[in-house]
Amino acid sequence: MRQNRTFTHIPRNTGGGYDDWMPNVNGRLFQKMSMRTRLSSLPWQAEFAIVFLTAFGWFIYVSLHIYFVRHTGVVISGSEKLHLVTFEVVVITLLGAFLYARGWTLARIGLTPSWRDTAIGIILAFVSYLMYRFAWTVFYELWPSLSRALAVHYSVRSQISPLSMLALLAVNPLFEEVFVIGYIITVLKEKYGAILAVNASLTTRILYHLYQGIGGLFSHIPTGLLFGIWYVRTQRLWPLIVAHAALALYSLRHYIGTGSF
């Protein structure tokens, strides 16, 4: 027996076309859903979990493992920095495609580079460094022996080549600030307000930098607060990426060696 076939109009974001009409057989609607439609239908909590765990899950696990189990401190290695850059490029590409399918844009997170914001980024880096130096100096004057015990210790396995450093400065600040500031604060500010958003961003930054030890908090807490407050007030991300790159270059300047990669 031949089935009665009717066609039902299905609203689509594509703006019309023959794909908008799908057969309805015996009252059952057969809707062809694109991957983008499926991704856009996910609740925001699922999106947040996917982005957070993909961007920071491994880094937080390794950081906690180093701090509580291995106690190796900060290891400087050109090859490890190159592996880090490769990993971050893959992750930011995958998450970028995922978020684009969800309707995110660079404008939503305030990523609009300009010469003016580049100059502001240099100023923010300087302010962040002054905040760190002030906090560390006060702590050292009050508890000098404890300060020496908590200082960040570096273990150099190999120098970082100029090209590896360039790749690191181009990728890592972009990766971190896009997700720890641009994404986390944008989502949580809309849902729960600016205070919780900034603190969640700061906590995330501390967790994946904990491998540096307690001494590293004197740098990352002022930086995280300064960056978070700036972003909430201005919604401009590029200055923070520039500031991050400037601070990284300053902290790693003694470990730049010769070679290609």
What pLDDT shows up at residue 149?
78
**pLDDT tens digit sequence for 156-178:** 666 788 888 899 999 999 999 99
If we measure between CA atoms, which residue out of 211, 213, 209 comes closest to residue 244? 209
pLDDT at 59: 95
Give the pLDDT mean for 99-113.
Answer: 95
Separation CA 93–CA 95 (nearest Å):
6
Question: What are 115-135's pLDDT values in tens digits?
Answer: 999 999 999 999 999 999 999
Q: Quick check: 227 and 242 in contact, CB under 8 A?
A: no
* pLDDT above 90 as % of the chain: 59
What secondary structure letter does DSSP report for 12?
-
- Contact call for residues 106 and 112 (beta carbons, < 8 A): yes
By mean pLDDT, which of 15-24, 126-135, 142-151 is the weakest? 15-24
238 near 119, Cβ under 8 Å?
Answer: no
The domain locations on the chain are 1-32, 37-255
Q: What would the two tokens of residue 23 be?
A: 């057969």
Q: Is the pLDDT of residue 15 over 50?
A: no
Top-confidence residue, 79 or 246: 246
What pLDDT is recorded for position 73? 63
